[in-house]
Amino acid sequence: MENYFKLDFNNTSYLVNSLLPKAQEQAYYEDYFDLAKITSQSKVETRGGRGQTILFAKDNLNLILRSYKRGGLFGKLVKDKFFKFESHPHRAFDEFRLLLKLKALNLPVPTPIIARQETNLISVKQQIVIERLVGFNDLSYVLSNRNLSEEEYLQIGKCIKKFFEAGVLHTDLNIRNILINDKLEVYVIDFDKCFLLEKLSDNKKQSMLDRLKRSFNKELLKKLDCQSEFNEEYFNKLCNEALKSN
């Protein structure tokens, strides 16, 4: 039995986690995307980046609303529409379904709550609402305050290994997409344009780790007043843990 359901209202469709009730009125689902209501009824935070992210609370849930936006020069002209003839036009629905599959594999990822796409003849505009992991910070935030410990590097490596073994291709594994808390629990987020493969090749695993290493160096170079530093020795231990055979 699927743990989500799909609803269609005119040109708007929703994928809804079965945690939410199956309501008859579209207005119930629209409340998860209505910025005016969200900002008037709860304390919200706004995070930057290409796809603007809103942190809010609703129905006793801590949530994140993310809009899918384009990058590059074309993104300046067409910010939030994806054409149906593109290779992956339904990114919100793809990410929603992938997150549910990863949850079923007991991988440390946030729970998808609801996704929405608005369509016309040629384009799709889309958003997703996922669980906010309270008490966790991304590695970029942690590094802006202190160095990561050797044990934290090791736990990150062990977490990445779980995804490698499951065949998860994360196309943007960077320090902003890895979260950690004070209990050394590690989660991975942002699975836009990511895939679950039958088997992950050694080249793809190494490519993901190389991308993660570049993000460490790039992020720390941007923080001119940062007291933290990238520890090459500890990162190599992270890689060894991630690539370790059973």
What is the distance between the alpha carbons of residues 121 and 117, in angstroms, rounded to a whole number? Answer: 13
Is the pTM for the entire model greater than 0.75?
Answer: yes
What is the distance between the alpha carbons of residues 212 and 39, in angstroms, rounded to a whole number? Answer: 34
Task: List the catalytic residue out of 80, 172, 202, 225.
Answer: 172
3-state secondary structure 41-91: HCCCEEECCCCCEEEEEECCEEEEEEECCCCHHHHHHCCCCEECCCCCCCH
Tell me the CATH architecture of domain 137-243: Orthogonal Bundle (1.10)
Output the pLDDT for position 148: 95
Total residue length of the chain = 246
In 147-218 the beta strands, taken as DSSP E runs, fall at 168-169, 178-180, 186-188, 195-196
Residues whose CB is less than 8 angstroms from the CB of residue 168 and which lie 6 or more positions away in sequence, other chains included: 102, 107, 194, 195, 196, 197, 200
Output the pLDDT for position 43: 76
Torsion of CA 75, 206, 197, 13, to 10 degrees: -20
Q: In DSSP terms, which residues pair with 168 in a beta bridge? A: 196
Mean pLDDT per segment of 10 residues, for the chain of length 246 residues?
A: 87 95 90 90 70 84 91 56 73 96 97 95 92 95 92 98 98 96 97 96 98 91 70 97 90
Output the pLDDT for position 186: 98
Contact 62, 132 (CB under 8 A): yes
172 classed as catalytic: yes
Q: In DSSP terms, which residues pair with 63 in a beta bridge? A: 56, 131
Output the pLDDT for position 51: 47
Q: Which of 143, 220, 145 is nearest to 178 (CA)?
A: 143
